[in-house]
Every structure is written in structure tokens, then in C-alpha cells.
Amino acid sequence: MKDLLKVEDLVVKFYTYEGVVEAIDGVTLNLKEGETLGLVGETGCGKSVTSLSILVLVPPPGKIESGKAFFKGENGYFDLLSQNEKSLMKIRGKDIAMIFQEPRAVLNPVYTVEEQISEVFMVHRIKELSERVLNGIEEDLRKGGSLRDPIYRFEKKIYKKILKNPNSLSPKILSKIPIIKRYQRRLKKEARKEVVSVLRIMKIPDPDRVADMYPHELSGGMAQRVVIAMGLGCSPELLVADEPTTNLDVTIQAQILELIRELKEEFKSSVLYITHDLGVIAELCDRVAVMYAGNVVELADVFEIFKDSLHPYTQGLMESIPRPGVEFKSIKGEVPALINPPLGCRFHPRCPKGMEICTRVKPKRTEAKKDHFVMCHLYSGS
């Protein structure tokens, strides 16, 4: 399989009053076409910042200092981090979509579900919807003899302009005039059909009724399904899921995970799944990237990670999973403050296998086995 996304030496810093937070320190990873890559690690290790960096959505005072994020487009690979905002707006939601951790923070409380999901269609699928509207108008004109025929011809001209150039200025101006803006009714009707269709795919009961509901009327699981619907509405090539089941109960979590698996197969999307739950990783992912303090310390097949993890941090995570008849072990110490991170390997203050070199030299990314990468002096030959 070819790579869909290649992140190389990503560095992100946050400039705060307390000091410079070195949140991401040279992250390198790849995501293949059609696979689910799990990004796992303790809270504060940089998982969400990595995903936001891919979409160039790092909030102030954060800044992407360096690195590349190559994405496979229609004309080959291009660097997402070097694109201007106008180009990124065309990519976000269409080619790369994101499911955020807290659905109620994403959904606007003053708009209905239909209005919020249809916005995605109106931005990225306006040509497709306009073509359907034009077919409907031409069908009405073929019938003939209606007093509304002059209105139909006028609307036809508007939609032809939209088809020719979705960013045309004249339709936008006409949409502000009270009487004339009625031409949008047909467009909104087509968008609603798509909204109801995608809600039905999300296995939401009575999607017609839910489309007219406001976010406060939805349960937690329902709200998360609506957010997933917004993400998958344009069949993106890459879906970034940032801990989408964290605040849900166990039963709903299982339903959402099964839904993501089914939708991945249906929409043929690749998934970057961010979590701190190794059980979810084992259930859902094909490969795993383990993060610690802004570094991807290990990257391998999910079976390889669970069977023969190499990095001492990954091994510590595995030993901290409760198992019947096995002594529970926790990783000693705490995650370091990234304002003043440890020199060398950032894990060395907590590492049971630490060496003198670990305290002063940052380990290089090494392919210890075939397709099994690790950042540790135990395998770098230092």
C-alpha cells in the first residue's frame, strides 16, 4: 500500500508567558491508504497537537516551526504545511476531516443539525447539488404552461453560473436580496436530502426528525454521530478521530467504534485514531504510533506492538494493562514539563534501562525490525 500521509520532522512550539513549550519535537510518521493508524500515549504527550498540525489548525500561541506533512492528492504529493489558507479551506472537510473529542464543543447551539451538516455540503459539494437542482428546473420547464416559467428560467441562469464558478460573486449578492434569495430553496432541499441520507448511514433513528433538532436535544452518543456525519459527509480520504469516545459510556463507545469501522470500509477512508486506550487500539487499528513527550518513540504493526514492543516506554504501557493473575505495574515518575524538557531522550528520567548517553543525546529513529521503528539508544547502535 502507498502512503496517503507522510509527516516528517514536525516541530511545534507554544510561546507562553511562562516560557516556550516544546510540544512536538521532530515527529515522523506515515499513514497508508486504507489503513487505521492509532496514535497512543499519556495525556499531554502531543497527540492532539500533531493532528491539529496536519490540518494547520494549531491555535495561538502555538506555531509550527518546521517539518513537512505530505498528502497524496490528485496530482501527487503536496506539503499541507506550505499551503495558503484558501487552499487549506478546500482540503479541510473534503479531503481531510476531523472528529473532535467533545461533540458539544463543536456543534453550534443556535443552529439545527440540518443547518450544521448541510454547511459542509454547501461548501464542498455545491456543484453536485446545483447540477441536481438544474435537472429539476429543466424538468419543470419541459412541462411548460406554468406562470412560474420566467422564474424557473431566471433560477436556471443563476445555477448555471454556480456550476461554472461556485465562487461567483453575483449569486452571493442575489442571495442577500430578500425576494430573489428564494432561488436557494431548491438547493437547500437537495442539501437536506443529503443530510437525512448521511444521518441514516450513521444509524440514527428517525433522521428526518433529528435533522430539525438542536444540539441540546441530542444525547451524547447522538451528538457524536452527528459530528461523525459532518466529518464523513464528503467522503474524505483521511479521517482524523481525536478520542471520539472518551466521554461516552462503554456501550455507546462500542457502538461508535463499530460504526467507524463500518464507515471506513464503506467510504474507503484512511483513519488516524487518537486515544490513550490500548484496548481501543487493539480492537480498531492496523498499526500503532506510540507518543511520549512530543516524540513518536515507536511505530509498528499493532500485533507487533502487543507481542514484542521494543521501547521501554511502550513496554511500561503494556505492563500497566490490568490482567487476571498478572501483577499490575505502573510507570514510575511523571510526564516532564515541556517548557523545560529533559536533555537527550525525554523518557530517560523514568526509564528502567537508561544509560549515560540517554541523558545527553537524543536517540535517532531506527528501523530495529522490518517496518518496526523505535527511538531508543538500545537499538540505535550508539
**HEC readout, 214-244:** CHHHCCHHHHHHHHHHHHHCCCCCEEEEECC
- Angle ∠(124,160,154) on CA atoms, nearest 5: 125
Q: Encode pLDDT of 29-71 as tens digits.
A: 999 998 999 999 888 888 999 999 999 999 889 999 999 999 9
Say what the pLDDT of residue 68 is. Answer: 94
- Of the two residues 63 and 139, the one the predictor is more confident about is 63
Residue 330 lies in a domain: yes
Say whether both 2 and 148 belong to one domain. Answer: no
Residues in CB range of 261: below 8 A, 6 or more apart? 284
Both 36 and 118 in one domain: the answer is no
Number of separate domains in the chain: 2
Same domain, yes or no: 66 and 42: yes
Q: What is the pLDDT of residues 328-342, one digit of tens each?
A: 788 888 888 899 899
Same domain, 101 and 242: yes
Indicate whether 360 belongs to any domain. Answer: no
Does residue 320 share a domain with residue 298?
A: yes
Give the residue from 195, 223, 250 where a domain finishes.
195
CATH number at residue 79: 3.40.50.300
Q: Is the pLDDT confidence value at 321 over 70?
A: yes
Same domain, 1 and 98: yes
Instruction: Please tell me the predicted confidence (pLDDT) of residue 62.
Output: 92
The whole-angstrom distance between residue 275's C-alpha and the CA centroid of its chain comes to: 12
In this prediction, residue 174 has a pLDDT band, given cuts at 50, 70 and 90, of low
274 shares its domain with 319? yes
pLDDT number for residue 101? 78
The reply to whether 51 falls in a domain is yes
Residue 221 lies in a domain: no
257 with 333, same domain: the answer is: yes
Q: Is there a single domain that holds both residue 5 and residue 102?
A: yes
Instruction: Report the sign of the C-alpha dihedral through residues 104, 107, 108, 109, in that order.
Output: negative
pLDDT, tens digit, for every residue of 350-374?
A: 999 989 999 999 999 999 989 999 9
pLDDT at 177 over 70: no
Domain contains 332: yes
Per-residue pLDDT of 180-197, as tens digits, reads 677 778 888 999 999 999
* 3 state DSSP class of 335: coil
Closest CA to 292 of 64, 36, 63, 43: 43
One domain, residues 3 and 77: yes
Residue 351 within any structural domain of the chain? no
State residue 269's pLDDT score: 84
Bigger pLDDT: 154 or 118?
A: 118
* Residue 167: predicted pLDDT: 73
The pTM for the full model equals 0.86
User: What percent of the chain has a predicted confidence (pLDDT) above 90?
Assistant: 41
As a whole number, mean pLDDT of residues 235-257 equals: 81
pLDDT at 87 > cutoff 80: yes
Same domain for 14 and 98, yes or no, is yes
Give the rounded distance of the alpha carbon of 5 from its chain centre.
Answer: 12
68 plus 158 within the same structural domain? no
Q: Please identify, among 195, 227, 262, the residue that sits at the C-terminal boundary of a domain.
A: 195
Boundaries of domain holding 171: 113-195
Helix, strand or coil for residue 313? helix
For the chain, the average pLDDT equals: 87
How would residue 157 be classed by pLDDT, with cut points 50, 70 and 90?
confident
